[in-house]
Structure 1
């Protein structure tokens, strides 16, 4: 039997007061219930990435910054990506955009999706992320998991601050569809890359 795809859940928010830990831990738990993928968390806050300042993209030449190289090496073994997306001013965080720019070859021909949140579920940021992912030669899939509106305010600290279990029934169908599709694409593209 083929090895299950390795998926990286990339934490794309770096603020001290970020909300990311709560939905990321929930999604990690959802993934742990499945036997068709392995999900690891990569937190860009742990990589101390500088603002992109290389002479060229990693597509054209090796990066010189040691932290950028460590980031690229951390991404390389994965077969697909889920990005935790906090919507800032209708887009992704600056930290996530910088992390995307710091690598190129580890993204190529691998599927991506998102766990997003905000007033409208982070939908505008995810659409922006998909255009960036396309330029990096990732394969954006249709399904994502969006935490918006009332569900967002149920679990966010500025709202009711409930546990994620309070909205699990609402989010679970989209998370299941997202993982089902991501696994299919990860397996298909891994075979094609091979």
Structure 2
């Protein structure tokens, strides 16, 4: 009986240490007008406009950023579980010559990655943008809308240690059974 309990406990430890699925902010709660709102939180993704306003113009359900001089020209994204990987983001611009800067910061606020985006329209995928603590999107030209921000949690070293302990405990329980 004790071996069964130990095996169940070990299996629970092992499966609790596996990586979580990606989180998506669809900005479905963003209205079509300027809203004084310090943050917008959806699926663990925290959106903080540096101007202190969330704007969904021209349609609700998208995050809108105007160029310098308008509210909401820069926004930070963080992830409540901690470090994350950027997987993709949907971006659209009002002008063909538009551009914005996407910058990823590490745990110590150091720049990890930076990219000028635009005038691309559609889904931008990112490979290798990992261990990010904060993501900043700065719109430097035309009207810009953002939708479907996809982030994935990066397992902390403790997660791997917990998974290793679970595997060792399962191995020990199996040896003891023999």
TM-score range, shorter chain: under 0.3
User: Which one has the largest radius of gyration?
Assistant: 2
TM-score (norm: length of structure 1): 0.26
Q: Which is richer in helix?
A: 1
Q: Which is richer in strand?
A: 2
